[in-house]
Structure 1
Amino acid sequence: MRLFLSCFLFFTVFNVFAQQNTAPEIVPLAKIDSLYREDQFYFAITYNTLSDKPAGLSQSKFSSGFSGGFLRDMPINKKRTVAIASGIGFSYNNYNQNMSITSTPSGNEYAIIDADAKYSKNKFSLLSVDVPVEFRWRTSTFESHKFWRIYTGIKFSYLLYDKSAFNSSMGKTHINGNKDFDKIQYGAYISSGYNTINLYAYYGLNPLFKSAKIAGEPVKMNALNLGIIFYIL
């Protein structure tokens, strides 16, 4: 009986000490990325309009634009809420309007289509490679990719491809490689919003055409594109 009681007391005390000496749970520490960057990729969808239009020129159909590319984010303050960014991208823009472009032996001719004329399509399309340079302000932290932002800058573009199309009951007219377009475009833009989707606006600082004329008057139309832009890490 004494032997039984001794064994019982020994194992009871052993279990108590064993419970007291249990190793504490190790909780991994969150690693703070003090060198994080933001918004490396972008994609924009825009509604395209024209400013400084010649007399009689109008836009009746929806004109769309698409652009996308990569930007290198370079923070310039300790909190990394202020940065500059630059990169490369591409844009494709359509402009539906009532200015006809026809090819003649002496060069392209431009005219406002008569209001009574019937046609199914009249537009010009531009494909460009872009180099944006922008200043960035945001409320970002290393813990979250959801924040307010205001980005603004200048975008330089080089025209890679252009096409003018006019379809009517008289036939189809397509012109590529129109030398009257200005190959080099540049303009100011701004984007602002919260999280992934943001409002976007671009205004061309130089005309789309460098040598087009209607009735002897230079065509000095500038691009004005409004839409939304998506940012992705």
Structure 2
Amino acid sequence: MKTYCILFFIISFGFSKACFSQGDIPVPSKVIDSLYKEDQFYLGLTYNILVKLPTGVKQTGFSLGLQGGFIKDIPLNKRRNIAIGLGIGYSYNSYNQNIGIIKDDSNEAKYFVLDDTYEFDYTKNNFYQHAIELPIEFRWRTSTPESYRFWRIYTGFKVGYLFSNISNFKGEVGSLRYNDIDGFNDLQYGLTLSAGYNTWNFYVYYALNPMFNDDVKTALKGERIEMSAIKLGLIFYIL
């Protein structure tokens, strides 16, 4: 009986000690980062619209754009709701339209409009581009250190360098595929705007220069191809 009493005393003392010690442990408070930064990674999806089309040229299907990258957020005020963003990213853009591209024996690209002049059908005619991009943004937002849900309006300028372009044609006369056509402007740039709340943000890109070089003309119409792109879609920002 004496042994059981001693054992009970030891257990009770240990339990009370543990409870007392646990009660003395302070509950950690939430750490607020007063030097927080926002929206340093982005992903976007766009519908690409061709504008300034030559005579007879039209879009023939859905033209898709994808983009993603990293932007360094540089706050400009103490509240940190105004900032500059400098970044680097990648984009893929496809354009479905009826400008045919063919290379002659000297490997020079020729451009013609696929219209009623040609008596053959085709199932695909597009070109798509891969680019490295450098976005620059002026950022306004209603963010605070405690909230991850806020309104934002980001305006900016984006420069892109095409490191690859590919033209595809499939039709009755066969399949044609060309890589790295000289007629495209390797350097492309335009204005950007993204605005929204929390996850959902609308995105607009307006190109300031044409896709093709100044000397590129359609074979049938003799017009310079000055068309450019407007991209409309959604962009998602991640810390």
Pairwise same-fold verdict (TM > 0.5): yes
Q: Deviations over 1:24-74 (max 9, x none)?
A: 784433322110000010000010111101011111211101000000001
**Aligned equivalent of 2:42:** 42
1:221 to 222, 227, 238: 227
Q: Which moved more, 1:170-179 or 1:99-108?
A: 99-108
| SS of alignment partner, residue 226 of structure 1 | strand
Q: Is the 8 A contact 2:48 2:232 kept in 1?
A: yes
Q: How does 1:2-41 map to 2 (within 5 A)?
A: 26-41=26-41
Name the CA distance, whole Å, in 2 between partners of 1:25 and 1:121. Answer: 69
Instruction: Tell me what 2:69 maps to.
Output: 69
- Show CA shifts across 1:111-141 (max 9, x none): 1102464111000000000000000000001
Give the aligned CA root-mean-square deviation in angstroms: 1.4
Determine if the alignment matches structure 1 residue 159 to structure 2 residue 162.
yes
Counterpart of 2:49 in 1: which secondary structure? strand
In the aligned structure 1, how far is the partner of 2:78 from the partner of 2:151?
Answer: 18
Q: Larger C-alpha radius of gyration, 1 or 2?
A: 1
Q: Give every structure 1 segment of 4 or more consecutive aligned residues whose post-TM-superposition deviation is greater than 4 Å.
A: none
Aligned to 2:19: none
Aligned-partner Cα distance in 2 for 1:208–1:94? 12
Q: Quote the residue 1:111 is aligned against.
A: 112
The yes-or-no answer on 1:202 pairing with 2:208 is no
Q: Which runs of 5+ in 1 are unaligned?
A: 1-22
Deviations 1:85-107 (A, max 9, x none): 01100000000001101111352
Question: Once the two structures are aligned, what percentage of the paired residues are identical?
Answer: 49
TM-score by length of 2: 0.85
Q: How many residues align?
A: 211
Residue 184 of structure 2, aligned match among 174, 181, 184: 181
Partner residue, 1:90: 90
1:100 corresponds to 2:100: yes
Q: Find the counterpart in structure 2 of residue 12 from structure 1.
A: none
Partner of 2:216: 212
- TM-score by structure 1 length? 0.87
* Counterpart-to-counterpart distance in 2, 1:151 and 1:142: 19
